[in-house]
Amino acid sequence: MSEITTSELDRRTLLRRAAAVGLVATPGVSFLSACAGSSGDGGDTKQATGTKSADNPLGIDPKAGVEIVIFDGGLGTKYATDVDTPLFNRKWPDAKITYSATQQVATTIKPRLNAGNAPDMINNSGTDLMDFGAIVKAGQAADLSDLFAAPSLDIPGKTVAETLVPGAVQQGTYDGKPYAVNYSFTVFGLWYNRKLFEKNGWTVPTTWADFTALLDKIKAAGITPFGYAGANAPYYMVRAIMTSAAKIGTEQVLKDIDNLKPGAWTNDAVFKAAQAWGEIGTKYIDKSYLGLKHTEVQLQQNQDKLAFYPCGSWLENEQAASTPPTFEYAMMAYPGVTASDQLPATAINAAAGEIYFAAAKSKNPQGGKEYLRTMLSKEAAVEFTKLTKSLTVVAGAADGLTISPGLTSANEALSKAGKDVFMGYLFDTWYKKLDDASREAANQLMFKGGDAKKFCDTMEAASRAVAKDSSITKFDRS
């Protein structure tokens, strides 16, 4: 899992905000642990700088080392070790890249951010990701305005920002300034085994009535119709509920939620979405999934014990080692919920996710930004897609590529959606308390009774609490 966060998406973003920020390093991460408290508050750390020029728009020191930390999740780490780092060193051969991978991002990195001796570029993802809104508030993330204004490494005549899909810069923007690169472009939907469906003559549904009718057939065949991992991936279900709410009432429903608007969670669209999904939980989910992790549930799907799984387009790559020849990933848009949905059944939630940022208080923040500029080159984006079976925010980078069945299916869904592709929500990265509450509320809804009113009231109360908490920095989404 990666957490796709948009946010996971998720990524995983998506994708994928969970445990409270850790302050103690765990065993097994010796490099990061050893670095964690080595230089006090970091206030006297001299930062590497160089001379700005057309060839060096960010003004990096060509000989200064760059430390990067990559989350070891669904996307793997080879894109960093085998693609991005060699590309960086092709241009800057005297700059040594110090690389580490971890699944415990907050536990290992947060102490270093607080101490002022952070790595230069950090991939903030996974179930132990850091509260990025709090990082921005604390001045620990570098302003990336100069990165996005810099020329692309390999797309002539365009700035980095001009090479990206619409909304990519916005998703990492806080109070008018960009602080994050949301790199992986994730398509969210319901994933299934195309071969299993073809074998049984099951047709992909577009209406809710067709969806539940198919779930009845699947249940009769002895297969769990729908499921997700309650132990560490309830945000997959939050994404499904929010997507359905947006289809019912447009993306404005999600914008109101992000903006902490009173009554946003008790909106009729959210209630109807929660009600529809709560019934799915009551009738078609295996209650034991509440205690399972994402990899355990995903393996059950690979074994054809589970039919539909809500997730982002990183799923296929994450399960590559466990996918048998009898399984071919395919994705469908979430079906329409009501006859009066304001978005069509083909509408898709797709968003940039998987946060990468340069630390403001590191030895070489400009070097961290230059590493991000390397990642945002077309060459790096193409190789990332080949390795991970995931798209990036570099527009058109995957054009002409022969890609995997699952990613092909996701691209087809995007094409069918046309103009009805929406970004989703941002509260999961803006307000960790609200994100945590949404995960618990989704699990309550799906595994413990399907009470839509309770879901809406619980989330409305959580939203009001965040809105009234003056210690939490508020953000605005127009």
H/E element holding 283?
Answer: helix 268-284
d(CA 279, CA 225): 13
Q: Whose structure tokens read 């898709």?
A: 348
Sign of CA dihedral 81, 87, 93, 98: negative
d(CA 64, CA 420): 45
Beta-sheet strands, E only, within 125-170 = none
Q: Whose structure tokens read 């200064």?
A: 64
In Å, how far from its chain's centre is CA 477? Answer: 18
Q: How many residues does the chain have?
A: 478
User: Can you tell me whether residue 104 is helix, strand or coil?
Assistant: coil
Report residue 219 as tokens: 């249940």
What does the pLDDT profile of the chain (478 residues) look like in tens digits?
Answer: 333 333 333 333 333 332 222 222 222 333 333 333 333 344 456 899 999 999 999 999 999 999 999 999 878 999 999 999 999 999 999 999 999 999 999 999 999 999 999 999 999 998 888 989 899 999 999 999 999 999 999 999 999 999 998 778 988 998 889 999 999 988 999 999 999 999 999 999 999 999 999 999 999 999 999 999 999 999 999 999 999 999 999 999 999 999 999 999 999 999 999 999 999 999 999 999 999 999 999 999 999 999 999 999 989 988 999 999 999 999 999 999 999 999 999 999 998 888 999 999 999 999 999 999 999 999 999 999 999 888 899 988 888 888 899 998 998 898 899 889 898 999 998 899 999 999 999 999 999 999 999 999 999 999 999 999 999 989 888 8
Report residue 132 as tokens: 């990025």
* Helix ranges restricted to H, 322-431: 365-375, 378-388, 405-417, 427-430
List, in order of start, the domains of the chain with CATH numbers: 30-186+352-404 (3.40.190.10)
The radius of gyration of the chain from alpha carbons, rounded to an integer in Å, stands at 22
In Å, how far from its chain's centre is CA 377? Answer: 20
* Helix ranges restricted to H, 221-344: 234-249, 252-258, 268-284, 294-302, 315-318
Surface-to-core class of residue 62, CB atoms within 10 Å of its CB (0-12 exposed, 13-18 middle, 19+ buried):
middle
Residues facing 124 on adjacent strands = 355
